[in-house]
Amino acid sequence: MIQEKAFSQLTSIDQFAKEDFFHFFAKALEVKKEKTSSGLEGKILASCFFEPSTRTRLSFESAMLRLGGSVIGFSDEKVTSGKKGESLQDTIKTVSLYADIIVLRHPLDGASTLAAASTTTPVINAGDGTGEHPTQTLTDLFTLYETRSSLEDLHIGIVGDLFYGRTCHSLAIALSHFQARLYFVAPSGLQMPTSICDLLKKRGIKFSFHETMEEVAPKWDVLYMTRLQKERGAQLNEHPYFLLKKSDLTHMKPSVSILHPFPRAGELDLALDASRQALYFQQMDNGLVVRKTLLLSMLEDRS
């Protein structure tokens, strides 16, 4: 039996210590082998998405159904009483009466923390504003764990809109446990927030800022591409956004792993999809595995 920390809520990836990641990934490998399970029969997941989502919402809902549970919820804020002025706290308190676990995506930073403080029902952060997206990071790292011999001491380029990109924030925090060397490549004005950089400095993690991929791409073991977060007000001004082409692979290590949390919006050439370096569809597939594992971990022993 794998011993792991039991989380009653998951609002930040920083709740995971280094050993917690390995315990979680070991369990995820077991879950991936099992394929089917009725471990959550009789449990209900509330899927509360105040923002659009494809992969996160559907993989959570699919995970719960495949584990024998049921799903209620919404994918449009317009159909909730929030449009009538109801507070997030009251919405969460209400939903917690009808479900065993709540998956929340919300446009406001810190929404998941506020929600978790409003109920004893487990809350999972599925993305809160420009804050974090911890379950995406679990998916990202699990994919690397599966495909590389080690997570230690990797040189990782995180490219794109790093200021508004919550997946990048959670990933950088998590990588601080594995002594990664980080290369932040972003247009001017869209670099990694100071709060994340200060945390990395405190933990002794080396990182540097760049405005082009070409200057550092040959050093990378992993490339994490992201899109421009236009819905959060990201603007490019005079700076072009990044486009990764298949021809760019000739300037990188043959063993480089390319990840992307999706959706993509023009920053990944479709010709890359068939390359062995492109792991983003495996990443998507692992999203289901990771979310099944998380639901089991948080609910299996909860009466």
Q: Which of 33, 78, 84, 202 is catalytic?
A: 84
Catalytic annotation present for 105: yes
Catalytic site residue from 11, 27, 43, 56: 56
Catalytic residue among 32, 55, 219, 246: 55
Q: How far apart are CA 173 and CA 197, in angstroms?
A: 9
155 is catalytic: no
Name every residue whose Cβ is closer than 8 Å to that of residue 37 and which is 6 or more positions away in sequence: 31, 66, 67, 68, 292, 296
Catalytic-residue membership of 251: no
Angstrom distance (rounded) from CA 122 to CA 11: 10
Question: Quick check: is 167 catalytic?
Answer: no
Residue tagged active-site, from 27, 66, 105, 177:
105
Residues 6+ away with beta carbon under 8 Å from 137: 13, 167, 170, 171, 173, 174
**Residue tagged active-site, from 133, 227, 260, 292:** 133
Distance CA 121, CA 284 (A): 27
Ranges assigned E (strand) in the chain: 44-49, 70-74, 101-106, 123-128, 155-159, 181-185, 207-210, 222-225, 257-259
Is 55 labeled as catalytic in the residue annotation?
Answer: yes
Active site residues: 55-56, 84, 105, 133
